[in-house]
Amino acid sequence: MDHHEAEQSQAVARYILNEMGDDERDRFEEHYFDCRDCGADVLAGESMRANLRALPKPVPQPEPVPPMVIPFPPRPAWKRALDMAVAAMLAVVVTAFVIPRIQGPAPQPSMERASESFITGESRGPGAPPTTLRAGASDNLLIVIIKPEWQHQQYEFQLRRTDGKVDLTVSMTAEQAKDQVSLLPRSLPAGSYVLAIYGRTDGNRAVLATNAVRVQ
């Protein structure tokens, strides 16, 4: 897939909304890994989607029920006074038993946030705790902090399982990477993974850091 075809088919939007078939998605991923514009659009769209999911859902408010008005015939003065006394007593009872329930704390809306995990540009040894993501979640977010001393023309981020199968590969230029990179892995099965960070300069690739990732 070339850039013109991606623009004509609105590939970025359909990729973010998961409206592509497997073959078309694979072709588009091969394209946007090397396309600066499409890669930036995909990262921006996925980040916006994760932020929108993190917003609290509004709690619907019940519509007020209009009071029922029942006409009564005129009553003698002493009966009206008695009615007023009874109404005052009922008001006290209602205030004591009903109002505390109405003014009680409203249930807090659930806030479903993406699983955000930060990874620094340093390799972590075997004894270090791994970065944790949620198994089967579609909103996992890996944020990689780029070290300022790295001076490479291009960076590559590869998430692979311990058996060697690669689940995610993202390439971008130094301008796109800047200080940090947001990676959005697809729904992952539980298991142990390794995130490898590579730097490319003049066609040469070097391993910059590796980090253990656990999906559970």
Please tell me the pTM assigned to this model: 0.44
Residue 34 lies in a domain: yes
Are residues 140 and 185 in contact, defined by beta-carbon separation less than 8 angstroms? yes
Range of the domain at 18: 1-55
- My answer on whether 126 and 205 are in the same domain is yes
In a domain, 72, yes or no: no
Residue 95 domain flag: no
pLDDT confidence band for 52 (50 / 70 / 90): low
Last residue in a domain, options 34, 55, 76 = 55
Kindly report the CATH number assigned to the domain that includes residue 196. Answer: 2.60.40.1220
**Does residue 86 fall inside a structural domain?**
no
Write the pLDDT tens digit of every residue in 36-46.
888 788 787 77
Tokens of 171: 């390439």
Find tokens 């298991």 and name the residue.
191
Confidence category of residue 22, pLDDT binned at 50, 70, 90:
confident
Domain count, the chain: 2
Q: Which pLDDT score is estimated for 156?
A: 92
Long-range CB pairs of 124-132 (<8 Å, 24+ gap) are 124/210, 124/211, 124/212, 126/212, 128/212, 130/192, 130/211, 130/212, 130/213, 130/214, 131/195, 131/211, 131/212, 131/213, 131/214, 132/213, 132/214, 132/215, 132/216
Are residues 124 and 36 part of one domain?
A: no
Among 86, 120, 94, residue whose Cα is nearest residue 195: 120
* Residue 140 pLDDT greater than 70, yes or no: yes
